[in-house]
Amino acid sequence: MVKNYFLTIFAGIAFLGLLASCNTTADPTESIPNPDDGPPPKRILTKVTANSVSQEEYTTTSGVLEQAVVKNDAASNVYYTGTITYNNKTIKKINFVSSASTGMMKYDFDMTSDSKGNIYNASCVATASTSGASYVSDYIFTYDASGKLTKILEKRKTGGISAYNGFIENAFDYSAENISQVKVSKGLLKINGDPDMSTAVLSQYSFQNYDAQKSPYSTLPKAFFIIRGLMDPVNFYKASPNNPTSMYIKLPDPAPGVNTAQSYSYDNQGYPVIEKNQNVTFAYKNL
């Protein structure tokens, strides 16, 4: 009985199809294609929240980043406000001021960058509430033949000393165009000014298994996130074009390594709108 029922349906469908093929009068409504709305509007990241708490807010005018308010992960309810200054449409200065009344740094970065986000040289004056914690840094950027950033060497003058006395080296590995790992070595300089690796402690930041979708941070200047990475290396992945689906962070011993996994939902342009595991949401505006 069931078999005969389905055979009857299929026979009916076939008969209707035959009638349709014999009808030589075209339906004019079917011959008109759907209207073309054109390409979707470009969009830019405006806000990132985690568990409904603001983590990052970006202020732009006509697609130009003017200000960023980013949460300081090392202190609850403390934010840095970054103000961006341009020269010939490339970032020249970024000044970060903390919302904390005491105990936090003020960072003044000065740099030379290009339209691709590559930084060629930079310096930073970090001012703390106590002079002993303040420092002045100069950065040397190294690129390979394909234009990928491979190393940033920071030489630092700490505590009012006039000579460089410390270094931080950020060494980059890649998976395609994405930053897959940053090894951060921190130690003392030799008398001749070279890094003394025998004094270095190592931290490792791995950004793994990138998807093929667009990073929300790719809508903003790459140079900004390189500078954010100098403040906290966990931000370096934001200079990548895609999204990592797992991260591994290993700080110097005895701190244990920490793994996190990321799972995204995307909009119709391929940008993440939700990261489900940490309950992160991304908000955009059209340009």
Q: Tens digit of pLDDT for each residue in 184-194?
A: 999 999 999 99
- Total tally of structural domains belonging to the chain: 1
Look at residue 11 and tell me if it is in a domain.
no
pLDDT, mean of residues 68-92 = 92
Look at residue 17 and tell me if it is in a domain.
no
User: What pLDDT is attached to residue 36?
Assistant: 53
Is residue 199 scored above 90 in pLDDT? Answer: yes
Q: What is the pLDDT of residues 151-180, one digit of tens each?
A: 999 999 998 888 999 999 999 999 999 999
Which sign, positive or negative, has the C-alpha torsion 130, 131, 133, 135? positive
Is residue 19 scored above 50 in pLDDT? Answer: no
pTM of the predicted protein model = 0.85
Is residue 28 scored above 70 in pLDDT? Answer: no
Look at residue 26 and tell me if it is in a domain.
no
Look at residue 124 and tell me if it is in a domain.
yes
Q: What is the pLDDT of residues 261-270, one digit of tens each?
A: 999 999 999 9
Look at residue 34 and tell me if it is in a domain.
no
Look at residue 9 and tell me if it is in a domain.
no
Look at residue 4 and tell me if it is in a domain.
no
pLDDT, mean of residues 200-205 = 98
User: What pLDDT is attached to residue 37?
Assistant: 57
Look at residue 52 and tell me if it is in a domain.
yes
Domain extent at residue 229? 43-286
CATH code (residue 106): 2.40.160
Radius of gyration of the chain (CA): 26
Q: CA-to-CA distance for 121 and 143, rounded, in angstroms?
A: 12
